[in-house]
Structure 1
Amino acid sequence: MASILISYRNHVDGATLTDGAWSATLPVSNLADRQPSRIARSLGTHPAGTVVTVDFGERQLVRFVALIHHNLTQSGRWRIRLGNTPDLADPLHDSGNFDIWPAAFPFGVGAWGEFNWGGRFDPDEVETYGAQAIHAIDQPVRARYLRLDLADEINPAGYLQAGRLVAGPAWQPSVNFQYGWSIEQVDESEIKRSRGGQVFVNARPRFRRLRFVIDHLEKDEMFAHAYELERLKGKGGDIMVIADPDDRTHAHRHTIYGALAESAPIINGQPGRYSRRFVVEELL
């Protein structure tokens, strides 16, 4: 299990997004909006129209790229390139084309008689997830341009869409979070029972909540990252957290695009060592 990965600086926010063929009312620039429900939608599914080129304006450090709330199917693939020329002809990083949906069920864990080809979701189940594609780069690169190629020509919707693009550095603590971390599905729906016994539900969207504690960090690391994270983002700014970057099978389950749900102090619990508690709630 690799240490948790936390991305809290998104260079897409101040970037210029171009290329592809995107709706005038749902433009590609919506990928720079923190609210993933404000989507960008392509005019079709031809790969020439489902491209995004991001100009950060200057060279920026990138360790992590994610596409939030996309509608690509299990046939969908994507490719990420980073470089310093607009055409990305000689990229510093090229992921190659790979499946945007990972295998989600280890062999043998499904119900008896249930078969998921390659361990993947069926289409109905895909719709129940706030789909998020994740690509962590082993060695960060400093690049001015990012090119995102999306491919899903048989998408039954007739278009591709997504709600948020994340690209930037990431903090991977030198000491992983403590045992006792948790992730939960939060359902704030109101349930009322009538005098006759019928149950009425005022359904609300469910979201995930991740809790963890990072401890035993030296002062420089804690203040350079945990302190800066809360100073820059507070409780309203968006962050991205991958609980276990090595676990590709369950990455979509324990990766959260969200915001800090509460403020918490940095605690100097022992000489030269510091800790902080985090609570992150998913943005829908």
Structure 2
Amino acid sequence: MAGKGIAMFPNRGDAAELKDGDWQLSLLNLQDRILQRVARSRSLALSSTRLTAVLDRARSIRAIVFINTNASTAGRKRVRAYGPAISDAPDGELVWQTGSEASDGWEDIYPRERPTAQMQWRDPNFWTGRPDAESLVGSTQSIITIMPQLFFVSRFTVEFGDQSNDDGFLDLGRLFLAGQWQFSLNLKPGVELGFLARSTSARSLGGTLYHSRKRHPRTMRGSWDYLPEPEMLSQLYELFRQAGTDLEVFLVQRPDDVVNRQRLSWLGRMPELPPIARGVSPGRAAGSLTFEEIV
């Protein structure tokens, strides 16, 4: 199941209490659907670039994501998830954390993006494989933490170590905390990945072509021919019914593909809700899924 795509909905982050750290632009901006409204730390000190998210109640959570960040490619993070309070752990028991024991839970915000075999010896990021600052321009970068399974979580603590950030502060955009629908069968081969062309061009009277460059949201379109009908009705049907064409869904197309996680995971909406075809074979149904990135 680990390699199957995941559609995450609904966002539990909007009902969470956000606190801790030192933020000159409020943590409440993490609960604003306009991605450009960010929480901004007062400095890059570890005491400043940390936060706690307390959920309205304990919920099944698979991922915690911050959409639209200025984190540098050298940045690190430590995420800890706590379960409900119990008698011998009144603040909740630690159920999962990033990293390893050797790293004390710290891991890179941006893992290796390109295999060494696809790089040139003189590339400045040859050894790390992480993206360079230039390659991040023009796309929405997310800090994505996917847990290996659903955990019953009541509180997250998140810490960032990004002292080399040239901006002198850390920006965090939209917070997305959600459970999952992890597909039992991946979308059939031929998934279409593309961009919504939004730049415009016009010619002057003299024939010179002028361009107005815009961001190009990513798009994805795929389908299933034989998904189990109970899953189609309890998951895709309910996703269509509850999210509609306006509510946010966070899509992770290939959870195991760390190299391409930034490319294949984004906050989006479903611009269309195509019908589900039931009974294409005994106990099976057909359906499709279309996503458009929110920028």
TM-score, normalised to structure 1, is 0.93
Q: Structure 1 unaligned runs (5+)?
A: none
1:40 aligns with 2:39: yes
1:99 aligns with 2:96: no
Please tell me whether the aligned partners of residues 36 and 69 of structure 1 are also in contact (alpha carbons under 8 angstroms).
Answer: yes
Counterparts of 1:195 and 1:61, CA distance in 2: 60
1:177 aligns with 2:187: yes
Match of 1:116 in 2: 125
Match of 2:291 in 1: 280
Counterparts of 2:293 and 2:3, CA distance in 1: 22
Counterparts of 1:199 and 1:112, CA distance in 2: 39
| 1:13 aligned counterpart, secondary structure | helix
| 1:101 aligned counterpart, secondary structure | coil
Cα RMSD, aligned residues only: 1.9
Match of 2:102 in 1: none
Please tell me whether the aligned partners of residues 55 and 155 of structure 2 are also in contact (alpha carbons under 8 angstroms).
Answer: yes
Match of 1:64 in 2: 63
Counterparts of 2:258 and 2:18, CA distance in 1: 28
**What percent identity do the matched residue pairs reach?**
28
Question: Which residue of 194, 202, 220 corresponds with 1:192?
Answer: 202
TM-score, normalised to structure 2, is 0.90
Counterparts of 1:218 and 1:154, CA distance in 2: 49
Counterparts of 1:30 and 1:189, CA distance in 2: 28
| 1:69 aligned counterpart, secondary structure | strand
Q: How does 1:141-220 map to 2 (within 5 A)?
A: 141-220=151-230
Please tell me whether the aligned partners of residues 138 and 215 of structure 2 are also in contact (alpha carbons under 8 angstroms).
Answer: no
Q: Structure 2 unaligned runs (5+)?
A: 99-104
Query: How many pairs align?
Result: 282
Q: 1:45/1:188 Cα in 2 relative to 1: closer, same or farther (>3 Å)?
A: same
1:16 aligns with 2:17: yes
1:134 aligns with 2:144: yes
Match of 1:270 in 2: 281
Please tell me whether the aligned partners of residues 5 and 173 of structure 1 are also in contact (alpha carbons under 8 angstroms).
Answer: yes
Counterparts of 2:276 and 2:163, CA distance in 1: 49
Match of 2:101 in 1: none
CA drift of 1:89 comes to 7.3
For residues 174-222 of structure 1, give each alpha carbon's deviation from its aligned partner in whole angstroms, at most 9, with x where no partner exists: 1111111011122221112234231111222211111111331222211
Q: Which moved more, 1:227-236 or 1:186-195?
A: 186-195
CA drift of 1:113 comes to 4.9
CA drift of 1:136 comes to 1.5
Counterparts of 1:259 and 1:171, CA distance in 2: 15
Please tell me whether the aligned partners of residues 88 and 147 of structure 1 are also in contact (alpha carbons under 8 angstroms).
Answer: no
